[in-house]
Chains A and B, each alone.
Chain A
Amino acid sequence: MSAYQRLEVTEVGEVTVVRFRNRRITEDIDIQELGSEMFSLVESDKREKLLLNFSAVEFLGSAALGKLITLDRKVKAQGGVLKLSNIGPNIYEVFAITRLNRFFDIKEDEADALAAF
């Protein structure tokens, strides 16, 4: 049984692959819960290699970017690695404008990302 309401979590070798159940990652309902679930992967489950696959995500705003930055800090604090993949063009523009496309390790698709761990 999955402990995650907002995330789909699978294992591929040593890498934990995370997909999002929500098409829109917005402030109104899910952002705090989503943040808690992502952080627990690192803090409680001690997963060190994380890949966030955004293929299901059509929209995210700055609040979601904030959660990703905090997640990255937590992963690095444990000596882990975080990668992102399958980001569509609209959302990629959000990363590019904020220059977070350079801050995060973003790969085209899941296979590219898995090969880069």
Chain B
Amino acid sequence: MLWPLFRQSMTDRWLWLYDRVIASDTKLARQVLDEMLAQLEAQHWQQRDIFAVHLATEEALVNAIHHGNGSDLRKSIHVVCRLDGERIRIEIGDEGRGFNPAALPDPTTSDHIHAPCGRGVMLMRAFMSRVEFNEQGNVVTMVKERERIPN
């Protein structure tokens, strides 16, 4: 298990810590996302990296709200963010039963390319450095390593 070790060693080095529980409402999720992106802007992250975090977090929040919690406003989303000089770590949990990410069909195959949905997890994996789900499949943890401009 990587995270407890990671968390312990990095505890004093966070530039920004964020821990919030919101209702399953996309407008509230938008506010969370805007706060997160503002922190990356403030730390002068590359626009390409900000786009990646934006996309993956939006997909994860939408999945949590619609698929996890069934858009039920009485159910909550838990968002935890940790930002340091090198990376952002985002954890998003919902109250749903979870799902098996390994069972998702490949949306790029000829059988699924016409489907209007089913691309969110693929995009999260493509744009983030690491994406992991808990065993139940209702908490996703994503890490984006910051791109450095060569001197």
Contacts and interface: CB of A to CB of B under 8 A. Distances in A.
B116 A61 contact: no
Interface in B51-95: 51, 54-55, 58-59, 62
Given A59-B51, A90-B47, A97-B127, 4 more contacts: A29-B27, A62-B119, A98-B108, A98-B123
A117 interface: no
A91 to B, nearest CB: 8
B33 to A, nearest CB: 9
Chain A interface extent, by class: 20 to 34
A65 interface: yes
Secondary structure call for the A interface: helix
A83 to B, nearest CB: 18
Interface of B: 26-27, 29-30, 47-48, 51, 54-55, 58-59, 62, 107-108, 113-117, 119-120, 122-123, 126-127
A61 B59 contact: yes
Contacts, number: 57
A31 to B, nearest CB: 9
B30 A28 contact: yes
Q: Which 5 A-B residue pairings sit nearest by Cβ, starting from the closest?
A: A66-B116, A28-B26, A62-B119, A99-B108, A90-B51
A97 B58 contact: no
B94 to A, nearest CB: 15
A72 B59 CA distance: 22
